Amino acid sequence: MGVYSDSLQQTLTCIVASVVIVVCLGVWSAAASEPAQAVVERFDSLLLTTMKQGEQLSFDDRYDKLAQRIDQDFDIRRIARHRLGDRWSQLSKDKRRGYTARLRESLIARYAHTYNHYAGQRFDICGLRSLGRDSRQVEVALIDSHGMRRVTRYTVARDAGEWRVVGVSPATGFSGPETARLMPRDTPKALFGGLERRLEGGPRV
């Protein structure tokens, strides 16, 4: 009886292990087949971790954590060019470089300022649409504990084999036809750090 019981237990263990492997392979295959979605999910995972550590991390800490991921997975120059439209071609190389740098800082700072508190929220991919062979639109909803949803649409494109975010809607950071002229000389990191202190106790995500 003991031998039979051990054999049955081993069989069940093997079955469970096989099911787990099959499920994992399915998840990995799905991620591999949709690398654009994987880029957004990786960023959302970092945002959620940052939110959960919101009480321990300062604004600068959140900024530095998010900067590493955004530098890797966002094509800031392409986002900048898209936001300025025809005005981009009218700018000198130095002005393009300066605008792109300030837009990067603004983008990171806005995320660091906004995603600073955890209260049971979660991220769900709620849409995936092909915009062409090498471009996707990924919709992600931030859902709070009451079921309220905030949807962000990421445009993710492949260039030289790498999938990167090339557009965010609603726009995060400075934008508009006169942005290059109106952008403050102070870094958005310092700007939003001061803003966060002034808004302390205000609404959070």
Model pLDDT for residues 38-65, shown as the tens digit of each residue = 999 999 999 999 999 988 999 999 999 9
Is residue 92's pLDDT more than 80?
yes
Q: Taking a C-beta distance cutoff of 8 angstroms, is the pair 40, 156 a contact?
A: yes
Q: Which amino acid is it at 52? A: K
Helices (H), ranges, 75-141:
76-84, 93-114
97-130 burial: b if 16+ Cβ within 10 Å, else e: eebbebbbbbbbbbbbbbbbebeebebeeeeeee
- 78 or 196, greater pLDDT: 78
- Tell me the CA distances in angstroms from 197 to 9, 40, 174, one per residue in order: 59, 29, 20
Amino acid 160: pLDDT: 87
Amino acid 155: pLDDT: 95
Model pLDDT for residues 60-75, shown as the tens digit of each residue: 999 999 999 999 999 9
177: which 2 tokens?
């036809």
pTM, two decimals, is 0.70
Report how far residue 177's alpha carbon sits from residue 18's, in angstroms, rounded to the nearest whole number: 57
162: which 2 tokens?
């790498």
Amino acid 137: pLDDT: 95
Give the confidence band of 138 by pLDDT, cuts at 50, 70, 90. very high
State mean pLDDT over 120-132: 93
Domain ranges of the chain: 1-33, 35-198
- By mean pLDDT, which of 85-99, 130-144, 167-181 is the weakest? 167-181
Model pLDDT for residues 7-50, shown as the tens digit of each residue: 556 654 544 344 333 333 333 334 446 899 999 999 999 999 99
State mean pLDDT over 68-89: 94
- Span 35-198: which CATH code? 3.10.450.710
Q: Taking a C-beta distance cutoff of 8 angstroms, is the pair 39, 165 a contact?
A: yes
Residues 6+ apart with CB under 8 A from 31: 37, 38, 41
Model pLDDT for residues 149-194, shown as the tens digit of each residue: 999 999 999 988 899 999 998 755 433 333 334 343 444 444 444 4
Amino acid 183: pLDDT: 41
Amino acid 204: pLDDT: 42
- Side-by-side strand order, sheet with 162-169: 122-132, 135-143, 149-159, 162-169
Amino acid 67: pLDDT: 96
